[in-house]
Amino acid sequence: QQWYSNSMKVICMWLTDRLDLQLHIYQLKTLIKIVKKTYRDFRLQGVLEGTLNSKTYDTVHSRLTVEEATVSVTDAGGLQGITMKDSDE
């Protein structure tokens, strides 16, 4: 649980440092993959929902969703099917 929480905090701090900058397409694609894989892996390991869906995760998820929407408007096909929307949803 601590590993997951610390991973999300690091990503959140990195995104906060770049709050006034739009992410490059490759940064966005990589972060989406990292966040989704981390979330899924720790969910499979039995980490509690309260820990998985923390305020930090919500902040990261919201930022990546906004960045994804921006890219989809400005760069058609830029993400090539990579999205924050979970396949389970």
DSSP secondary structure string, 8-72?
A: HHHHHHHHHHTTTSPPPHHHHHHHHHHHHHHHHHHHHTT--HHHHT-HHHHHHHHHHHHHHHHHH
Q: Quick check: 87 pLDDT over 60?
A: no
Split at pLDDT 50, 70, 90, the class of 74 is confident
At 88, the pLDDT band (50, 70, 90 cuts) reads very low
